[in-house]
Amino acid sequence: MNNKKGKEVEVKTYNVKVGRSPRIERIDAYLSARFPEYSRTFVKKLIRNDHIKVDGKPVKPSYTPAGGDQILIEVPVIKTETIPPEKIDLEIIYEDEWILVINKPPNMVVHPSRGHQSGTLVNAAAYHCKELSSFGGDLRPGIVHRLDKDTTGVIIMVKDDTVHEEIAKQFEKRTVEKEYFALCKGRVELDADMINAPIGKHNRADEKMAVRHDCGKPATTVYKVAERIGDVSFVRCFPHSGRTHQIRVHMHYIGHPILCDANYGHEKALFPSDITGGEHYPLEKPLINRQALHAARITIFHPGLGRKKTFEAPMPADMRALLDAFKGAAAKKSE
């Protein structure tokens, strides 16, 4: 059997006879109770795709099962590419039987995509964990949220499908608390503010996003200025939504792009001589050559533990070196 995309599909078949009129009124709730390995949301999807029939006929999720009903359930299992595990060192912040929390380094793509078939965080996690949740699909096992390639910091990988679904709902409902550190160009005037500006695809550059009042999706970022050093601001950002490149786009939108974010209005790299005012020498190494953005903290309700958990990652060495260099230059200037 093949699906619409031409991928080979296996089908798990279940035949259920309702012995007597159940107390549960809806068939989606009834079947998710009978088969706890399948969520109610997943059962609804099966029903809407005609993979569940009662007495040979399609039904709606609201159908009330009755005694004597013969229910046929077909669960498609798509065979696709698998992620090859790769032995890549990971900085593990936390791990238990349900989740793996990693401090992602710069220059690492989260999951395989066109142009990045190996060396990704998923390849590394697949080697470390042996098993990741399948809720996100074959090419994104364990992925419940993402970070840009050159953004560092806390990222959660999930091992268990049920836990994955519960955490995914938290991201969808925006109950996950996230904090990022950003080093931004210029002295941000307000000590704190909320940026409420919709984000959509850039109208000219495919790889970029932009504030789009015509077609963008709602996006909100709260920021607080932690410190102003010369012509640079150290800003703590709290995104209340999860749009692609959200913090990068929003800080650029208010005129304070993140340092070394070449896509959104700043130089590609910063050298010590850029800060001290001298000239580059031939072997000078950049302090940083990626956007100065770091996912510092995330808080979720951990479904496996039944309580909130907060995970933190310290500011990475390149951002710390950049911050110290600006502080040193500012101190020298004030002497």
Contacts of 104 (CB under 8 A, 6+ apart): 110, 121, 147, 151, 152, 153, 154, 155, 295
Is 55 catalytic? The answer is no
Asked whether 238 and 247 are in contact (CB, 8 A), the reply is no
Residue 268 · residue 292 · CB < 8 Å: no
CB of 59 within 8 A of CB of 27? Answer: yes
DSSP code, position 247: H
Q: Which of 28, 69, 148, 150 is catalytic?
A: 148
Q: For residues 99 and 143, is the Cβ–Cβ distance under 8 A?
A: no
Instruction: State the SS3 of 147-170.
Output: CCCCCEEEEEEECCHHHHHHHHHH
Q: Quick one: which H or E segment has residue 263?
A: none
Catalytic positions are: 148
